[in-house]
């Protein structure tokens, strides 16, 4: 006889109901199925009204993030066998407004990414003429920021962050890690511009170093580490400013 298990899915359709509910579905248990396979099965075979996001099904696009039994996960990389035979509860990512069922509103996250200017900034007059070719970078210089460039914008780190979930003004883990991706790039000169956001009241000092963002990151970006490094460099900046009136040299 085919093994089955239960998937409990958060339902919210604002055009039809005021309050969210949960709906439980019986699904076949297959050892090689991930949670996303099970939701796709429900959508195709049982209830076509369930709404959710996904695309690549291989942990690359970052769109299938959901809370699985209260923990932020990429549902395309989380196997049913980790939970069988228990019931699995699937909810939208914590901390974000819900648009419909498992679909969250991403606007706040996208605006935060944009706010830290995630591109190479060169000071005026310091851009290389095109005919001089590309900016050469050594493997060691690449290694400085490569880890922070692996982010897939899945937002699991925001859903895991107790600061962001309580206060969404916090710039947040992925955006700060992305800022560090450029700050540590040998071709970039835009750190001062990013500092206005990173060292603001809503920036790095809001982080209480719980570290859950790094625990749930599916790409080992370590946003918590990126934030602590930004705290150290911002503190060094502050000391340099403080010492200037006493005639110490700013490096």
Residue ranges binding ligand FES (CB under 6 A) = 54-57, 59-64, 74, 76
Minimum distance of ligand FES from residue 63's CB (angstroms): 5
Minimum distance of ligand FES from residue 58's CB (angstroms): 6
Q: Are 74 and 218 in contact (CB under 8 A)?
A: yes
Cβ proximity to ligand FES: between 50 and 204 the closer is 50
CA atoms within 13 A on the CB side of 98: 21
| Gap between the Cα atoms of 211 and 82, Å rounded | 23
Q: Max Cα separation, the chain?
A: 82
**What would the two tokens of residue 137 be?**
């970078």
| Gap between the Cα atoms of 27 and 209, Å rounded | 39
Q: What is the DSSP letter of 128?
A: P
Minimum distance of ligand FES from residue 81's CB (angstroms): 18
Minimum distance of ligand FES from residue 116's CB (angstroms): 23
Cβ proximity to ligand FES: between 65 and 190 the closer is 65
Q: Which residues pair with 71 in a beta bridge?
A: 68
Cβ proximity to ligand FES: between 40 and 214 the closer is 40
Cβ proximity to ligand FES: between 60 and 105 the closer is 60
Minimum distance of ligand FES from residue 218's CB (angstroms): 8
State the residue for tokens 């007059």: 125
State the residue for tokens 């922070």: 148
Q: How far is CA 157 from the centre of its chain?
A: 5
Cβ proximity to ligand FES: between 36 and 197 the closer is 36
């Amino acid at each position: 006889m085919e093994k089955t298990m239960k998937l409990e899915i958060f339902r919210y359709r604002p055009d039809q109901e005021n309050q969210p509910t949960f709906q439980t579905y019986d699904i076949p248990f297959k050892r090689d199925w991930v949670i996303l396979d099970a939701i796709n099965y429900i959508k195709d075979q049982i209830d076509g009204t369930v709404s959710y996001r996904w695309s690549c099904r291989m942990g690359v696009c970052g769109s299938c993030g959901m809370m699985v039994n209260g923990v932020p996960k990429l549902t395309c990389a989380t196997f049913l066998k980790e939970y069988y035979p228990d019931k699995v509860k699937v909810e939208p990512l914590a901390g974000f407004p819900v648009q419909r069922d498992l679909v969250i509103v991403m606007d706040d996250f996208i605006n935060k990414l944009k706010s830290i200017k995630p591109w190479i900034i060169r000071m005026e007059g310091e851009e290389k003429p095109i005919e001089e070719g590309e900016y050469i970078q050594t493997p060691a210089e690449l290694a400085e920021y490569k880890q922070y460039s692996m982010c897939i914008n899945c937002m699991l780190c925001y859903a895991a962050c107790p600061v962001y979930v309580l206060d969404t003004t916090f710039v947040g883990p992925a955006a700060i890690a992305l800022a560090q991706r450029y700050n540590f790039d040998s071709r970039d000169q835009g750190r001062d511009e990013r500092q206005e956001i990173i060292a603001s009241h809503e920036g790095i000092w809001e982080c209480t170093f719980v570290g859950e963002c790094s625990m749930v990151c599916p790409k080992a970006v370590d946003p918590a580490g990126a934030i602590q490094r930004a705290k150290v460099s911002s503190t060094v900046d502050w000391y340099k400013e403080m010492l200037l009136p006493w005639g110490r040299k700013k490096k």
